Amino acid sequence: MTEIADSGSAGDTPVAFQDPGYRAAVVDLLGAIAYGEISAFERLAEDAKLAPTLADKLALGKMAAVQFNHVEPLIARIAELGSEPMEAMAPFVKAFDAFHARTAPSNWLEGLIKAYVGDGLAADFYIEVAAFLDAETRTTVVTSLSDVGHSEFVVDRVRQAIVADHRVAGALALWGRRLMGEALSQAQRVAAERDSLAALLAGGVDRPGLDLAALGRMFSRLTENHANRMAELGLAS
């Protein structure tokens, strides 16, 4: 993948930011990720109510806290770029809220899989896009999407449930496939509605970016990562 080169000495603004189109694309991307983290925090806190034990409730609460702690560096970076963070997030509120309404889990296990599969797919997508960003923004994005080990809790609980009752595996596999389809559609809708993001993804902002073949390979990697996560859970993709 082609990356944007930074220029000058440490502390200088990368050449890319002299292009207002690139700056707008970065602010949009950061705004989307920041509100995504806020909505993930809200969802995990709500899903904790479905937890069958106090230990499970605590574990999901910790996952929610991690998502919330990711927000501050993102909005700080938006402010550094001269934009107002609330305004940067505002265009994505409706789309993210609609996505979560469409994919509201009906039980504890569905909530766990959504946290693992759905959030994982979103993180993969944004990290793929971050490969084309300046170094400082790229680091902010990748750090904000770090898992810090909480996926192990989800994998353990889902595998335990399948061992206890193998019949749940089929329904959970179907749920995982639905999440995959909804998440990919969500990413496409968000990009299509924001010209700057579409240009960044298509390679039209200040550098030779993705061609159609590269875009296809990117979505192949997203699909492969999804299949690997489903396998980790003990589910067919």
Instruction: Please write the tens of the pLDDT for every residue from 58-75.
Output: 999 988 888 898 899 999
Compute how many other C-beta atoms are within 10 angstroms of the C-beta atom of residue 139: 14
Burial category of 168 from C-beta neighbours within 10 Å (exposed 0-12, middle 13-18, buried 19 and up): middle
Determine, yes or no, domain membership for 1: no
CATH number at residue 68: 1.20.1260.10
pLDDT band at 9 (very low <50, low <70, confident <90, very high): very low
Asked if 41 contacts 115 with a C-beta cutoff of 8 angstroms, the reply is no
Determine, yes or no, domain membership for 73: yes
Determine, yes or no, domain membership for 205: yes
Determine, yes or no, domain membership for 110: yes
Number of independent structural domains in the chain: 1
Q: What does the DSSP assignment read for the chain?
A: ---PPP-SSTTSPPGGGGSHHHHHHHHHHHHHHHHHHHHHHHHHHHHGGG-SSHHHHHHHHHHHHHHHHTHHHHHHHHHHTT--HHHHHGGGHHHHHHHHHHT--SSHHHHHHIIIIIHHHHHHHHHHHHTTS-HHHHHHHHHHT--TTTHHHHHHHHHHHHHH-TTHHHHHHHHHHHHHHHHHHHHHHHHHH-HHHHHHHHT-SSS----HHHHHHHHHHHHHHHHHHHHHHT---
Alpha-carbon gap, residue 220 to 186, rounded angstroms: 17
Determine, yes or no, domain membership for 2: no
Asked if 132 contacts 3 with a C-beta cutoff of 8 angstroms, the reply is yes
Determine, yes or no, domain membership for 207: yes
Q: What is the mean pLDDT of residues 127-142?
A: 86
Compute how many other C-beta atoms are within 10 angstroms of the C-beta atom of residue 237: 16
Q: Which two tokens stand for residue 7?
A: 């220029």
Task: Look up the pTM and report it.
Answer: 0.84
Determine, yes or no, domain membership for 9: no
Rounded to the nearest integer, the mean pLDDT of the chain is 84
* Whether residue 208 has pLDDT greater than 70: no
Determine, yes or no, domain membership for 13: no
* Whether residue 114 has pLDDT greater than 70: yes
Residue 211 is predicted with a pLDDT of: 58
pLDDT band at 8 (very low <50, low <70, confident <90, very high): very low
Domain of residue 182, residue span:
18-233
